[in-house]
Amino acid sequence: MRDALGDVQSALVLGGGSEIALATVRKLVERRTRTVVLAARRPDELTPAAEELRAAGADTVECLGFDAEDGVEAHAALVDDVFGRHGDIDLVLVAAGVLGDQERAASDARAARALVETNFSGLVSAIVPCAERLQAQGHGTLCVLSTVAGERPRRSNFVYGASKAGLDAFAQGLGDRLAGTGVRVLVVRPGFVHTRMTEGLDAAPLATTPEKVAEAIIDGIASGADTVWAPPALRYVMSVLRHVPRPIFRRLPM
């Protein structure tokens, strides 16, 4: 249950090793989040991050196994386990995702399907039981890391963009379905963020940092927003780009 000041007390992160997620959790712990569950493909590698969070004031930090490619039953069991042992969870942060190899995914059906499964269907299968649990407890925020690339997929990374567009649409619809239940869904649309995911790539205009995205997430949770862009100016950039005619859009250097 969020405390008297509205701060998050407990958080479950799906994709617990994500740099954006860890930056967010660090800021949450500074503010008084006391229980953190980091669910990731290789939970042992998160031991240093867990120790850092404990040193910063978290009472309980757990690292559990989670793979978006696991089946529906494994996802349901993980969610049951976490909510069963920790009770109320105030925030579920869905951060897992892969950029993938666009050139390969555009021409190799297996690669394209793997990208869509990790970024979309695999996460949907974990989000549904989380949403059910949040609804049963009557409060909480489900925060989903989407991207501006999902708002209008670009030729250069449309498989990733399409997978995130699916996730974004699912999260929006779920948020509408849960309106009035006490559960909120926050869709986060960062632009280019300097993390492992973008290492070696040329930074896009308005590139930002995990810490800045973390601030946008925390502000979004506090304000009850449905959607946040990081940086906020991307909202206006995208509202223009969304309407650029396709013959022109496909010639833009991006």
Ligand X SMILES: NC(=O)c1ccc[n+]([C@@H]2O[C@H](COP(=O)([O-])OP(=O)(O)OC[C@H]3O[C@@H](n4cnc5c(N)ncnc54)[C@H](OP(=O)(O)O)[C@@H]3O)[C@@H](O)[C@H]2O)c1
Which range in 39-47, 85-93, 151-159, 177-185 contacts ligand X by CB under 6 A?
39-47
Which range in 25-33, 52-60, 194-202, 214-222 contacts ligand X by CB under 6 A?
194-202
Has 236 been annotated as catalytic?
no
Q: Least CB distance from residue 54 to ligand X, whole Å?
A: 20
Residue 195 near ligand X by CB under 6 A:
yes
Residue 121 near ligand X by CB under 6 A:
no
**Backbone phi and psi for residue 13, each to the nearest 5 degrees, phi listed first:** -115, 120
Which range in 4-12, 151-159, 193-201, 240-248 contacts ligand X by CB under 6 A?
193-201
CA-CA distances (angstroms) from residue 103 to 149, 151, 157, 159?
A: 16, 20, 8, 9
Cβ proximity to ligand X: between 20 and 82 the closer is: 20
Please count the other Cβ atoms lying within 10 Å of the Cβ belonging to residue 241. Answer: 16
Which range in 26-34, 40-48, 50-58, 238-246 contacts ligand X by CB under 6 A?
40-48
Report how many residues bind ligand X under the rule CB under 6 A: 26
Dist CA 112 CA 104 (whole Å) = 8
Q: Binding marks (x or -) toward ligand X, 1..30, rule CB under 6 A?
A: --------------x-xxxx----------
SS3 track for 36-62: EEEEECCHHHHHHHHHHHHHCCCCEEE
Q: Binding marks (x or -) toward ligand X, 74..113, rule CB under 6 A?
A: ---------------------xxxx---------------
Longest dimension (CA), the chain: 55
Q: Least CB distance from residue 147 to ligand X, whole Å?
A: 3
Residue 120 near ligand X by CB under 6 A:
no
Peptide bond into 231 cis (omega under 30): yes
Catalytic residue, chosen from 160, 170, 192, 229, is: 160
Residue 229 near ligand X by CB under 6 A:
no
Dist CA 254 CA 247 (whole Å) = 14
Dist CA 226 CA 169 (whole Å) = 12
57: left (phi over 0), alpha (psi -120 to 50) or beta: left
Cβ proximity to ligand X: between 1 and 206 the closer is: 206
Dist CA 99 CA 164 (whole Å) = 10
Q: Report the residue closest to ligand X, judged by CB.
A: 97
